[in-house]
Chains A and B, each alone.
Chain A
């Protein structure tokens, strides 16, 4: 038999001014199961809480209803008090007499009657509450970082520096990402590789970081604290232990005309190559699609000439399976290809390039040694036109969002050009200038005032080739929509930032949500920007949304601290409001019939299959089982289950039914 105590709070005049609290207390005493009902001015105050604890002890209460403000306000407070008073915290419920009653209705009989009903609903619920214990889940204290750009590097370093081992998996042969391709970074004009390579080396040398380059994640199973990651280490065809990075293989490889991806196609590389001189690890990889040996069985020049005999043509991909506790997604971005733009030449014109290609031209370690040269004929351009918002903020033919970094890097490109080509004329066609970061606006002003970059507010309708030059037709909206025509030697498009190729597949492999543009979705846009809705998987960098370097680093550190926080506890404790599939004694074992319609309904993939076996090991039936580590307690499965074999603790069928019946 239940012994429920009802405690009605006046909340000063907030409740008592509108609701007849004495009448509610009196009515509560008449409710079946209630043995104690009082009213008090401020239940959340110290004396109020003491009163609660004393009553639990003196009246041997096994359930408590505090009729006061909203549970969203004080449920944790009163649950803790109840626990201190000696009962399970989940035996305490709150009736919302303030936000849902006294504050929204006029004083009078109907309002008091409603208050009594609200109390009765909670009394009926609490009578059917079961004591619940927080769920403890073990944690593997090892992190997996996917992506070796600046975001992944920062996250890996931060996590490793807290003492937890990290696996850093990078798809390409070297870490560094897009930041390693940049020439100088805004707003400081720091040399990008100069600030990045020390970090890359730190990652390589860190005792707690294991670097998996030229590797990809194939599968991720499990749940927070207990993931199993299957990593494919693609075969470089090199024995990394023997290779000493001398580079003879690259020099002697007869296949030399492959467009170099690192240099955005501005130069060529061999079939065996190291992506860039500062690559980490500085070991080559054989491009199987272009290598003569793999295409026709001939050549083997590198094998013959390698001084340490490090070439291994028969090396196979290796699969490794690791237990990890958390995953940080830092897979970065790509830029929209120039071929997307019909008005700007579909990518046919060699001298219409995108921002990344310009970075390689401007970079001292690039194919032109930092000299700005036209890709078509190698001449120095006297006039360059930069087009901002190419593809961004374009609902019809591009993406509707702003790519955030282009205003800044376009200003930077124009400035670099002016520094390198003193007589050059740079014109930027823009829509708005978005320079919101620290020192950003001053940087743009510098471009205008000190470096003489011309800003024209308007869009470019067409670019076409004429006599070796590019005719750019735009408009100047600040001069009354005056048509502007410029004969330029080069056009640089600030193309939109997009999610990496393969982002959708990766998100599906990890069961992480993503938006229509394939950027990974954060758990809450304001308050949880580094978490995903999948517990244990965190986000860092441009894979979530277009982002510049300072913000990426900040976010990566944020994700790292979430991981560190997760690893800082011996076990993971979770609220026990979760679903449970019933279990019965044999021969029933469970009312679940194993149709698994609940499995497809669960947003967290928290439902697993559990075979029920007899002593001989024969499977009698396969039923559903809820993983307490993953279930978040939404209850969708409960309403999907036809046979009601699955129930939600804390909001069980019995409780909801009783609440309804009591109205």
Chain B
């Protein structure tokens, strides 16, 4: 913690970065994102087991970028997000400095290559509970799954917190906001909810870094992250490509191999 605070002070005082995006104390035991502009406030930064939210989503917000060079406290999923954003030309190396929190220490990573090397050493795994849930769902029958999701998505109020919290959902005009044509009903409509989450999962296939922030953000507790995890793992299994592995674009859904294998096309 002290290491982070002193590093942040150093960076801000020298003007190397204009803002440090990190975690601060929230109500009770919760942690929430904070933006430290002045070196004096660097002590508000917290690093502990409760800091799991993927902060990379702020790297694409124009109000934050307008501040200048950003430093970001980065858990492994944030590092992956940085790489994926770089691959999609949303981040420039000179505009972001990652402060990776690995094994209790703070590592300053100034280049995408450094981030790539660091990430390569960290195994990515979905949390146990989530994996159990996915396994449970895949073991169900089609109609059981339908009933499960109908029940879950029935609670969706279309607040779009999942979209707002996801670093990869940086589109200025989301397809949901397009009204000519209006692909998906905007209201909290049963079919609209199903379609929205399906579309979101498809748009994240091959780009999701499996941070789970979307599910954590949902105010009514729908495990939407399972959908994006599933889409991501399908891409990984079928095409060997995963989101956030490299700053060079390798997007399975816009490339192909002439001998991709499938068995369902007649």
A and B together in one complex: yes
Tell whether B142 is near chain A: CB-to-CB under 8 Å.
no
**Residue on B with the closest CB to A590?**
B172
With A601-B255, A640-B253, A657-B183 already in contact, the answer to whether A596 and B89 are too (CB < 8 A) is yes
CB distance from B261 to the nearest CB of A (A): 17
Q: How far is the CA of A657 from the CA of B183 in the complex (A)?
A: 8
Determine the chain B residues whose CB is within 8 A of the CB of A601 once the complex forms: 254-255
Q: B-facing mask of A565-602, CB < 8 A → 1, else 0?
A: 00000000000000000000000100101111110110
Can you give 28 contacting A-B residue pairs, CB < 8 Å? A588-B172, A591-B171, A591-B172, A593-B170, A594-B89, A595-B89, A596-B88, A596-B89, A596-B249, A597-B88, A597-B251, A597-B254, A600-B251, A600-B255, A601-B254, A601-B255, A622-B89, A640-B253, A642-B171, A643-B172, A643-B174, A643-B175, A643-B178, A644-B178, A645-B173, A653-B181, A654-B181, A658-B181
Determine the chain A residues whose CB is within 8 A of the CB of B90 once the complex forms: 593-595
Determine the chain B residues whose CB is within 8 A of the CB of A645 once the complex forms: 173
Contact of A644 with B175 in the complex, beta carbons under 8 Å: yes
CB distance from A650 to the nearest CB of B (A): 16
Tell whether B203 is near chain A: CB-to-CB under 8 Å.
yes
Determine the chain A residues whose CB is within 8 A of the CB of B255 once the complex forms: 600-601
Determine the chain A residues whose CB is within 8 A of the CB of B172 once the complex forms: 588, 591, 593, 643
Tell whether B136 is near chain A: CB-to-CB under 8 Å.
no
CB distance from B205 to the nearest CB of A (A): 11
Contact of A654 with B253 in the complex, beta carbons under 8 Å: no
Tell whether B257 is near chain A: CB-to-CB under 8 Å.
no
Tell me the residues in window 609-663 of chain A with beta carbons closer than 8 Å to chain B beta carbons.
622, 640, 642-645, 653-654, 657-658
Contact of B171 with A640 in the complex, beta carbons under 8 Å: no
Tell whether B180 is near chain A: CB-to-CB under 8 Å.
yes
Q: How far is the CA of A588 from the CA of B171 in the complex (A)?
A: 12
Main secondary structure, interface of B, reads loop
Determine the chain B residues whose CB is within 8 A of the CB of A597 once the complex forms: 88, 249, 251, 253-254
CB distance from A127 to the nearest CB of B (A): 12
Contact of A642 with B203 in the complex, beta carbons under 8 Å: yes
Q: How far is the CA of A658 from the CA of B249 in the complex (A)?
A: 34
Contact of B173 with A591 in the complex, beta carbons under 8 Å: yes
- Count how many chain A residues have C-beta atoms less than 8 Å from C-beta atoms of the other chain: 20
Q: How far is the CA of A3 from the CA of B259 in the complex (A)?
A: 48
Contact of B254 with A640 in the complex, beta carbons under 8 Å: yes
Shortest 3 CB-CB contacts between residues of A and residues of B: A657-B181, A601-B254, A595-B88
With A591-B172, A642-B171, A643-B172 already in contact, the answer to whether A598 and B181 are too (CB < 8 A) is no
- Count how many chain B residues have C-beta atoms less than 8 Å from C-beta atoms of the other chain: 19
Contact of B171 with A643 in the complex, beta carbons under 8 Å: yes
Q: A-facing mask of B182-208, CB < 8 A → 1, else 0?
A: 010000000000000000000100000
CB distance from A252 to the nearest CB of B (A): 54
Q: How far is the CA of A492 from the CA of B253 in the complex (A)?
A: 51
**Residue on A with the closest CB to B183?**
A657
Other contacts beyond A643-B175, A644-B175, A644-B183: 5, CB < 8 A = A595-B89, A600-B251, A600-B254, A643-B173, A653-B181
CB distance from B19 to the nearest CB of A (A): 21
**Residue on A with the closest CB to B253?**
A640
Determine the chain B residues whose CB is within 8 A of the CB of A588 once the complex forms: 172-173
Q: How far is the CA of A654 from the CA of B182 in the complex (A)?
A: 9
Which residues from chain B sit less than 8 Å from chain A, CB to CB?
88-90, 170-175, 178, 180-181, 183, 203, 249, 251, 253-255
A-B contact count (CB 8 A): 51
CB distance from A124 to the nearest CB of B (A): 11
Determine the chain B residues whose CB is within 8 A of the CB of A643 once the complex forms: 171-175, 178
Q: How far is the CA of A591 from the CA of B178 in the complex (A)?
A: 10
Determine the chain A residues whose CB is within 8 A of the CB of B173 once the complex forms: 588, 591, 643, 645
Determine the chain B residues whose CB is within 8 A of the CB of A591 once the complex forms: 171-173
Determine the chain B residues whose CB is within 8 A of the CB of A642 once the complex forms: 171, 175, 203
Determine the chain B residues whose CB is within 8 A of the CB of A658 once the complex forms: 181
Determine the chain A residues whose CB is within 8 A of the CB of B175 once the complex forms: 642-644
Determine the chain A residues whose CB is within 8 A of the CB of B183 once the complex forms: 644, 657
Determine the chain A residues whose CB is within 8 A of the CB of B254 once the complex forms: 597-598, 600-601, 640
**Residue on A with the closest CB to B251?**
A597
Q: How far is the CA of A593 from the CA of B91 in the complex (A)?
A: 12
Determine the chain B residues whose CB is within 8 A of the CB of A594 once the complex forms: 89-90
Q: How far is the CA of A642 from the CA of B253 in the complex (A)?
A: 11
Q: How far is the CA of A643 from the CA of B180 in the complex (A)?
A: 12
CB distance from A142 to the nearest CB of B (A): 34
Determine the chain A residues whose CB is within 8 A of the CB of B88 once the complex forms: 595-597
**Residue on A with the closest CB to B250?**
A600
CB distance from B16 to the nearest CB of A (A): 22
Q: How far is the CA of A597 from the CA of B89 in the complex (A)?
A: 10
CB distance from B207 to the nearest CB of A (A): 9
Q: How far is the CA of A658 from the CA of B182 in the complex (A)?
A: 10
**Residue on A with the closest CB to B254?**
A601
CB distance from B55 to the nearest CB of A (A): 20
CB distance from B92 to the nearest CB of A (A): 11
**Residue on B with the closest CB to A601?**
B254
Determine the chain B residues whose CB is within 8 A of the CB of A598 once the complex forms: 254
CB distance from B161 to the nearest CB of A (A): 19
Determine the chain A residues whose CB is within 8 A of the CB of B251 once the complex forms: 597, 600
Contact of A600 with B89 in the complex, beta carbons under 8 Å: no
CB distance from A431 to the nearest CB of B (A): 30
Q: B-facing mask of A364-389, CB < 8 A → 1, else 0?
A: 00000000000000000000000000
Q: How far is the CA of A654 from the CA of B183 in the complex (A)?
A: 9
Contact of A600 with B249 in the complex, beta carbons under 8 Å: yes
Q: How far is the CA of A148 from the CA of B81 in the complex (A)?
A: 51
Q: How far is the CA of A597 from the CA of B203 in the complex (A)?
A: 11
CB distance from B60 to the nearest CB of A (A): 9
Q: How far is the CA of A598 from the CA of B170 in the complex (A)?
A: 16
**Residue on A with the closest CB to B181?**
A657
Determine the chain A residues whose CB is within 8 A of the CB of B89 once the complex forms: 594-596, 622
CB distance from B180 to the nearest CB of A (A): 6
Tell me the residues in window 301-358 of chain A with beta carbons closer than 8 Å to chain B beta carbons.
none
Most buried by B among A596, A598, A643: A643
CB distance from A649 to the nearest CB of B (A): 15
Q: Which of A593, A653, A654 contacts B171 (CB 8 A)?
A: A593
**Residue on A with the closest CB to B204?**
A642
Q: How far is the CA of A437 from the CA of B127 in the complex (A)?
A: 69
**Residue on B with the closest CB to A654?**
B181
Determine the chain B residues whose CB is within 8 A of the CB of A653 once the complex forms: 181
Q: How far is the CA of A348 from the CA of B89 in the complex (A)?
A: 55
Most buried by B among A596, A601, A644: A644
**Residue on A with the closest CB to B174?**
A643
Q: How far is the CA of A591 from the CA of B180 in the complex (A)?
A: 13
Determine the chain B residues whose CB is within 8 A of the CB of A644 once the complex forms: 175, 178, 183
**Residue on A with the closest CB to B178?**
A644
Q: How far is the CA of A511 from the CA of B143 in the complex (A)?
A: 47
**Residue on B with the closest CB to A588?**
B172
CB distance from A512 to the nearest CB of B (A): 16
CB distance from B173 to the nearest CB of A (A): 5
CB distance from B185 to the nearest CB of A (A): 12
Most buried by B among A598, A600, A640, A657: A600
Q: How far is the CA of A645 from the CA of B171 in the complex (A)?
A: 10
CB distance from A289 to the nearest CB of B (A): 36
Determine the chain A residues whose CB is within 8 A of the CB of B174 once the complex forms: 643
CB distance from A589 to the nearest CB of B (A): 10
Determine the chain B residues whose CB is within 8 A of the CB of A640 once the complex forms: 253-254
Q: How far is the CA of A591 from the CA of B254 in the complex (A)?
A: 19
Determine the chain A residues whose CB is within 8 A of the CB of B203 once the complex forms: 642
Determine the chain B residues whose CB is within 8 A of the CB of A657 once the complex forms: 181, 183
Contact of A654 with B249 in the complex, beta carbons under 8 Å: no
Determine the chain B residues whose CB is within 8 A of the CB of A595 once the complex forms: 88-90
Q: How far is the CA of A259 from the CA of B38 in the complex (A)?
A: 74
Q: How far is the CA of A597 from the CA of B255 in the complex (A)?
A: 9
CB distance from A618 to the nearest CB of B (A): 13
**Residue on A with the closest CB to B182?**
A657
Determine the chain A residues whose CB is within 8 A of the CB of B178 once the complex forms: 643-644
